[in-house]
Chain A
Amino acid sequence: GAVVSQHPSRVICKSGTSVKIECRSLDFQATTMFWYRQFPKQSLMLMATSNEGSKATYEQGVEKDKFLINHASLTLSTLTVTSAHPEDSSFYICSARAESTGSYEKLFFGSGTQLSVL
């Protein structure tokens, strides 16, 4: 089956620094990727839709200048948390849909990145 690789799996950083999370589709091309965040014991919250070669579409209430998304190729999307603060500590998850499939088909998810901001 298709694999989505997310890196790093865990990161600890100081307040005020920026952190980049990578999401790669390993064996398929993904024109669209999605970024979610999840707080403990809560459900996943969609942050933004990342489209290859164009600007990301952010969900209401998500700061685009805070969470920078770049989708420069058909296999790579990155999420950069800028000037991270403790309240940004969360589990970040990416997902992707294979380009060749219909929009009703399944999504493949990365294994997530646990961000802890000190």
Chain B
Amino acid sequence: DAKTTQPNSMESNEEEPVHLPCNHSTISGTDYIHWYRQLPSQGPEYVIHGLTSNVNNRMASLAIAEDRKSSTLILHRATLRDAAVYYCILRDVRDDKIIFGKGTRLHILP
């Protein structure tokens, strides 16, 4: 499986934008980039996913580098409820499985 690299933890102030980076230099042409987050004592929840183009939804934006070797999850205005572990995952279109890495623990400061 192609792997991703994320910072172990990040901090951000409430009501400010947050940029969560992810490196995936060995990404293949059939890999989709998925982001999930896990709040304390809960199962993960889907945030966003994309293939080549930047994506926006009500939760976040996903900026994908032109060479696809990195991506950035953007939370436009962080709230305390966004404190969670964020996982950047590569998912092959031919494979159902999602393999989680260590993720980034995001702390939001009031």
**Are A103 and B93 CB-contacts (below 8 A) given A44-B100, A46-B99, A112-B41?**
yes
How many contacts between A and B, using CB within 8 angstroms?
Answer: 58
Residues of A within 8 A of B43 (CB): 4, 6, 93-95, 109-112
The answer, yes or no, to whether A102 is at the interface (CB within 8 Å) is yes
Docked CA distance A110–B45 (Å): 9
Inter-chain contact A106/B94, CB cutoff 8 Å: no
Instruction: Please tell me the size bucket of the interface on B.
Output: 20 to 34
**Are A97 and B96 CB-contacts (below 8 A) given A104-B32, A106-B34?**
yes
Q: How close is A58's CB to chain B, nearest CB, in angstroms?
A: 12
Inter-chain contact A109/B101, CB cutoff 8 Å: no
Q: Mark B16-45, 1 if CB is under 8 A from A, else 0.
A: 000000000000000010101010011111
Q: How close is B22's CB to chain A, nearest CB, in angstroms?
A: 14
The answer, yes or no, to whether A107 is at the interface (CB within 8 Å) is yes
Q: How close is B8's CB to chain A, nearest CB, in angstroms?
A: 11
Inter-chain contact A107/B100, CB cutoff 8 Å: no
The answer, yes or no, to whether A100 is at the interface (CB within 8 Å) is no
Residues of A within 8 A of B102 (CB): 43
Interface SS of chain A: helix, strand, loop or mixed?
strand
Inter-chain contact A103/B95, CB cutoff 8 Å: yes
Docked CA distance A29–B54 (Å): 30
A68-102 with Cβ < 8 A to chain B:
91, 93-95, 97, 102
Residues of B within 8 A of A67 (CB): none
Residues of B within 8 A of A28 (CB): none
Closest to A4 in B: B43
Inter-chain contact B46/A106, CB cutoff 8 Å: yes
Inter-chain contact B96/A32, CB cutoff 8 Å: yes
Q: How close is A18's CB to chain B, nearest CB, in angstroms?
A: 23
Inter-chain contact A109/B97, CB cutoff 8 Å: no
Inter-chain contact A46/B91, CB cutoff 8 Å: no
Docked CA distance A108–B90 (Å): 16
Task: Jot down 13 A-B pairs with beta carbons below 8 A, ordered by A.
Answer: A46-B97, A49-B97, A93-B43, A94-B43, A95-B43, A104-B49, A107-B98, A109-B44, A110-B43, A111-B42, A111-B43, A112-B43, A114-B41
